[in-house]
A and B are shown apart, each in its own frame.
Chain A
Amino acid sequence: MTPATAAEQAARRSYGRLVAYLSARSRDVAGAQDALADAFEAALTRWPRDGIPANPDAWLLTVARRKTLDALRERRRGEEAAAWLEWLAALETAPEAHALPDRRLELMFACAHPAIDAAARAPLMLQAVLGFDAATIAAAFLVAPATMSQRLVRAKAKIRQAGIGLQVPARSELAERLGAVLSAIYAVYADAWTDAAGTDPRRRNLAEEAIWLARLVASLLPQEPEALGLLAQMLYSHARRAARRDADGVYVPLTEQDPALWEGRLIAEAEGLLHLASSHHRIGRYQLEAALQSAHVHGRRSGSVDWQAVENLYAALCELTGSPVAALNHAVALSRTAGAEAGLARLDALAAHAQLDDYQPYWAARAELLGQCGCLVEAGTACERAISLESDEAVRAFLRRRAAAWGPQ
């Protein structure tokens, strides 16, 4: 990590702590952001240049106080002045010197509250907890900046006006509500991953920030196995990022990746987390997905994948989530344990899912299994369909090579 990146991250961590602290009682996330905006901007400019201050929180608070005073002196009148005075009081009384209570988990639960539009939850987390601006978030989620701004403004107004508390939910609701927090974090990560080539530095940055959020939740709720499972899953995936492309930028599927290119440290951490999670004996989606990654990692390292274990894990995932994507993966695993015909039969049973009709991996899997069954013409057609649905040129090239293998011979 370069010093500039480290400085930016320090500024984001501190910003998130302060937004969470300041909005904890008022529920006014937008107001807290306004009160900190100038100070945060100054930190993003100055810390990479001058170095990270010894106490980042105190630095931001001091600058925020000064800026708020400036704003008051300059032009604020009436109601607006009253609001700024209130923020000044909040900034004045905030504890300093590493004593700031960490309310970020509470803020994340508010961002992912079921009363918040599901499409706004991950973006809101990125903005409130990490200080990303609406334009960057809009780019990551492929939404027009104006639309994203509006979505964020509305979500923040809802927290304040509908009285959404910044708190960790009661035990009876924790599992379900934690699910929403984890799924928002996963959305940040998955979205960053769609730019697998890593051509967009903003998105690459987001993948690391998502991992950081998952780490924060896992460290604050270590008794929740799904929080550990999500972090493990993301670490397995992140550990392999360098192996997903060859020197020419061509996509390399997991089964052909060079394990020497994987980041062993991250994989070891993921294995440890998964082990710890399983000791709680409360299985869930993210633990199953992490276990699948683990099985593939071991398979690639040892040269033989335990397909029976993979098939069982996918079967459990289908049972748990009812997701057609999990069912698709189950079909592929089944083709390894029971033969291509069995896998193809399972795929045929899924054909009715509208969601899969436009899903590239469905057609790619279909092509693969048809090819194995000797139905070369159908395999070629399915592969063409897969290519037409893929936008990543590296993956298209990979699929074209497969199509050529089944072409007229």
Chain B
Amino acid sequence: MEYMLLIHADPAGFAALSEADAAAAMAAYTAYTEALVKAGINRGSNRLQPADMSTTVRVRGGKTEVLDGPFIETREQLGGYFLIDVPDLDAALSWAARCPGASHGSVEVRPIWDMSGQ
């Protein structure tokens, strides 16, 4: 099954890190990504620009509304994701727990909607 590991974290926390600590944090993510690739379960991952860089689009009554910023403003925001393919939720949860984001923020584990049969 495919699962999206969504990393929610406070970007202010990362911004406040010293240069050395920030480098160590990046290295942790690099190591984690390598572990996923080595396990053969990595289906894609990305770090996202901060939420104030985002633009929200919605269509209401045939009219397209474009709004500055994320849909919901919270201190913790979606900072990045990993898409993994593992046998079951327990495997996904154990990979999520190893993700550096789980230690400084939280990781939401969301199953991918399988559209193949539809």
Spell out A's residues near B (CB within 8 Å): 113, 115, 161-165, 167, 169
Closest to A27 in B: B88
Give chain B's interface secondary structure class.
mixed
A115 to B1, CA, bound (A): 16
CB-contact partner of B111 in A161, A165, A169, under 8 A: A161
Name the 8 nearest CB pairs between A and B, nearest first: A165-B88, A163-B1, A163-B89, A163-B88, A164-B89, A162-B111, A162-B89, A165-B90
Is B61 in the interface zone, CB < 8 Å from A? Answer: no
- Residues of B whose CB lies within 8 Å of any CB of A are 1, 3, 87-90, 92-93, 109, 111
Nearest Cβ in chain A — how far from B91, in angstroms?
Answer: 8
The 9 sampled A-B contact pairs (Cβ below 8 Å) are A115-B89, A162-B111, A163-B1, A163-B89, A164-B90, A165-B87, A165-B90, A167-B88, A167-B90
Residues of chain A with a CB closer than 8 A to B111's CB: 161-163
- Interface SS of chain A: loop
- Chain B nearest CB, measured from A291 CB (Å): 33
Closest to B3 in A: A163
Separation of A167 and B88 alpha carbons in the complex (Å): 10
For the complex formed, measure the closest distance between the CB of A125 and the CB atoms of chain B, giving whole angstroms. 18
Cβ of B110 to closest chain A Cβ, rounded Å: 9
- Residue of B whose beta carbon sits closest to that of A113: B89
- A28 to nearest B CB, angstroms? 13
Measured between beta carbons, the chain A residues less than 8 angstroms from B89 are: 113, 115, 162-165
Find the residue from B3, B87, B90 having the highest chain A CB count within 10 A. Answer: B90
Q: Name B87's closest neighbour in chain A (CB-CB).
A: A165
**Chain A residues with Cβ under 8 A from B87's Cβ?**
163, 165
Residues of B close to A115: CB separation below 8 A? 89, 93
Complex alpha-carbon distance, A112 and B99, angstroms: 25
A255 to B93, alpha carbons, bound, how many Å? Answer: 48
Which residues from B are CB-within-8-Å of A164? 88-90
User: Complex formed: what's the CA distance from A115 to B91 in Å?
Assistant: 13
In angstroms, how far is the closest chain A Cβ from the Cβ of B94?
Answer: 9
Question: Cβ of B93: which chain A residues have Cβ within 8 Å of it?
Answer: 115
Residues of chain B lying within 8 A (CB to CB) of residue A169 = 90
Residues from chain A with Cβ under 8 Å of B109 in the complex: 162
Q: In the bound complex, what is the Cα–Cα distance between A165 and B90 (angstroms)?
A: 7
Q: What residue of chain B has the Cβ atom nearest to residue A164's Cβ?
A: B89
| Known A162-B111, A164-B90; further 11 A-B contacts with Cβ < 8 A | A161-B111, A162-B89, A163-B1, A163-B87, A163-B89, A163-B111, A164-B88, A164-B89, A165-B88, A165-B90, A169-B90
Residues of A within 8 A of B90 (CB): 164-165, 167, 169
Give the shortest distance, in Å, between A174 (CB) and chain B (any CB): 12
* A153 and B7 alpha carbons, distance in the complex (Å): 29
Q: Which residue of B lies closest to A115 (CB)?
A: B89
Among residues of A, the one whose C-beta sits closest to the C-beta of B2 is A163
What residues on A are CB-neighbors of B3 within 8 Å?
163
Give the shortest distance, in Å, between B51 (CB) and chain A (any CB): 26
Q: Closest A residue to B90 by CB, please name it.
A: A165
Complex Cα gap A115–B96 (Å): 14
Q: Compute how far the CA of A55 lies from the CA of B63 in the bound complex, rounded to whole angstroms.
A: 66
- For residue A161, which residues in chain B have a CB less than 8 angstroms away from its CB? 111
Q: Give the interface centre of B88, B92, B109 by most chain A CB atoms within 10 Å.
A: B88
